[in-house]
Every structure is written in structure tokens, then in C-alpha cells.
Amino acid sequence: MSKRKKVNRAWLAQHIDDPYVKLAQKHGYRSRAAYKLIEIDAQDRLIRPGIAVVDLGSAPGAWSQVLRERLARPSGAGAGIDGRIVALDLLPMEPVADVTFVQGDFREEETLRRLEQALGGAKLDLVVSDMAPNLSGVAAADAARMGDLVELAVAFALAHLKPDGALLVKCFHGSGYSQVVELFKRSFVKVAVRKPKASRDRSAETYLLGRSPKASAASASGQRG
């Protein structure tokens, strides 16, 4: 048996036994990633009725599902959600009720324009990003690609967040991580690191949370845009 087949078989066995995979299947979430956002939100109370939020790197849609659940109107108060959710991904995504989906490459200006059109000029309370590049296995190259995505997410957030808004992004703990943290510290008044239990211990992924964009950083971002 080839080494790759052994690795794939070991990953599959672990995936099947993963408690978060089982929970996701039980509760109808499209991936175990739902529990990363649920856990972070339980600590930081990011998702509140009435907010406008963008979900970057949304496919297959687990984070959009969580956002939709948290913004759903109480039974008896009418259908739909109290707020606005716009999701974006390079890949197609099966519809999530009350979520506006934009398919395109976040690195392209045309995609950003379509995303802004979907927002209709609304300023955002929250931007969440579970985006990750296609991994090559070369740590330095993967970290650089991840860093580029984080920089784009920060620039987008600074241009569109309200003064008390927040950005939550996935990044990789390794090469380039300290630069990403410094970018957050330059861009936001409050910065926190989150490693939810649903994120596998062996994974290099971690999450950075920035709150309240700094006016100088937001102004510079707007000038670049």
C-alpha cells in the first residue's frame, strides 16, 4: 500500500470517529467547522440579532448555517432573519435560507464589486473568514498564500465595518504568523487569539479576532480601495 493511501485511510478513520463530525451530521451542519464558530461566538458574543455580516470563504456553508440560526426571528415573529447575511466563495454553495450568496474569487476587483452590490451600501457589524488557500504542502508557500488572504480580509473589513465592528479570520500558526498578528494590531483596537476545541490539535490553524477598526487604518484602506 502506498504511503498516500495509508495516510488517506488513517485520515478517513479519524474523520469518521471525530465527535464534531458526528455532531455536525446529527444537527444538519454541512461540516464540523460549524462548531468552531459556535465555540468562538459563545466566548465573544459576535452574532447578535439585527447585525449585517459577511461570510468569506463560505462553502460548503456551515458558518452561514450558524449565522442564519443565530439571526432567525423567534417563532411567531414571522419568517426570515433579523439582520443580513452575505456569503462569498470561489466554489459553488448550496443555498442557505435567507443568505445571499456571491460566487467568485475574493482576490479579484469584479468579485468585490458584486459583493458590495449585494450589501447595498450597508456597513457591516461583522466579517468572518474561514478562507484558506489550496495547500501545496510547502509550508513557506502555503503561509504566504494564507497571509495574502488575511491581508485581503483585513482590507475589506476596514473598508466596510462599522466603528464597533469585528473581524474573525482563520490563519496558520507558523511562518508569517507574527506579521499577521502585527497587521491586526495596527488595524484594530482590540485583538485576541482563538483556538476552539473543534479545531484539531495537530492543525496549524488558529483564529484572530479584531474589534473596532482603528480610524487611521480604515482611512488608509479606503484610500487604497
Placement of cell 478517513 in the chain: 12
Categorise residue 174: left if φ over 0, alpha if ψ from -120 to 50, beta otherwise. left
Q: How many Å apart are CA 39 and CA 136, to the nearest integer?
A: 29
SS3 43: helix
Q: How far is CA 183 from the centre of its chain?
A: 17
- 170 belongs to the catalytic site: yes
Q: How far is CA 193 from the centre of its chain?
A: 14
SS3 53: strand
Per annotation, catalytic residue among 22, 123, 170, 195: 170
Q: How many Å apart are CA 168 and CA 211, to the nearest integer?
A: 9
Question: Could you list the active site residues?
Answer: 170
